[in-house]
């Protein structure tokens, strides 16, 4: 489990396709205390550490992961939002994030408002019921609060600190972004569905 609070912006060092794709990510994390088999959220998806060095770690991603996320857009030097898995007793600063990407959404608009930036994103119809104003969502691994929801869009504001300390400083209209709905919204919807039968 994660919180959606990014603690490092890493960088893709290499991608090697051999069955699954091995991805080496450069990081400022202290890798000596990262266990092989540990989970790290990498711009949204929870990936498993399979190797490591002094300033890097490696993960593997399956074709399924590539088909459900924006990892297919990753190339050498792509910046990546990183968050290590929660330990018992850690502060839950964002919201409960699983690292299971639900869909890829498109950045439809960017608008600077004061020191913040409003992002307008496409909203897949399959997930519209799970997105609510003032609710939580995760974009490329970042926990954010929804401002407004329309028929086929939603928007969020990012403050200057978030922009400066995540990959969001590089955002461009048309970009594909990993999207995870709030796990609580998922279970509430499921309970409502079951109880209405």
Q: What is the pLDDT of residue 185?
A: 77
Q: What is the pLDDT of residue 190?
A: 67
Closest among 4, 29, 2 to 162, alpha carbons compared: 4
Where along the chain do its domains lie?
8-84, 103-195
As given in the structure block, the two tokens for residue 115 are 């020191």
Confidence check: pLDDT of 194 > 70: no
pTM summary value: 0.93
| Confidence band, pLDDT 50/70/90 cuts, at residue 173 | very high
C-alpha angle 179/145/157, rounded to 5°?
95
CATH class of 103-195: mainly beta
How does residue 67 score in pLDDT terms, banded at 50, 70 and 90? very high
Query: 8-84 — its CATH code?
Result: 2.40.30.20
Percent of the chain with pLDDT over 70: 97
Confidence of residue 71 (pLDDT cuts 50, 70, 90): very high
pLDDT greater than 70 at residue 4: yes
| pLDDT tens-digit readout, 35-51 | 999 999 999 999 999 99
Beta pairing partners, 159: none
Sign of CA dihedral 56, 57, 63, 67: negative
Residue 32 has pLDDT above 80, yes or no: yes
Give residue 181's region: left, alpha or beta (phi > 0; psi -120 to 50): beta
Residue-wise pLDDT for 95-138, tens only, equals 889 999 999 999 999 999 999 999 999 999 999 989 999 999 99
Give the pLDDT confidence of 83-96 residue by residue, as tens digits: 999 887 777 777 88
């Amino acid at each position: 489990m994660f919180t959606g609070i990014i603690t490092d912006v890493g960088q893709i060092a290499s991608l090697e396709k051999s069955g699954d794709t091995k991805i080496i990510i450069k990081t400022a994390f202290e890798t000596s205390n990262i266990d092989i088999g540990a989970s790290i959220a990498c711009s949204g998806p929870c990936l498993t550490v399979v190797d490591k060095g002094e300033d890097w770690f490696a993960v593997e991603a399956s074709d399924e992961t590539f088909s459900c996320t924006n990892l297919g857009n990753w190339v050498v030097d792509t910046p990546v939002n990183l968050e290590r898995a929660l330990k018992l007793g850690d502060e839950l600063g964002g919201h409960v994030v699983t690292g299971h990407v639900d869909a890829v959404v498109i950045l439809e608009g960017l608008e600077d408002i004061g020191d913040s930036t409003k992002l307008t994103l496409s909203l897949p119809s399959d997930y519209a019921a799970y997105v609510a104003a003032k609710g939580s969502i995760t974009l490329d691994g970042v926990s954010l609060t929804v401002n407004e929801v329309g028929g086929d869009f939603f928007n969020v504001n990012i403050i200057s600190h978030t922009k400066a300390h995540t990959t969001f400083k590089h955002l461009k209209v048309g970009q594909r972004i990993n999207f995870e709905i709030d796990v609580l919204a998922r279970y509430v919807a499921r309970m409502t569905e079951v109880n209405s039968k």
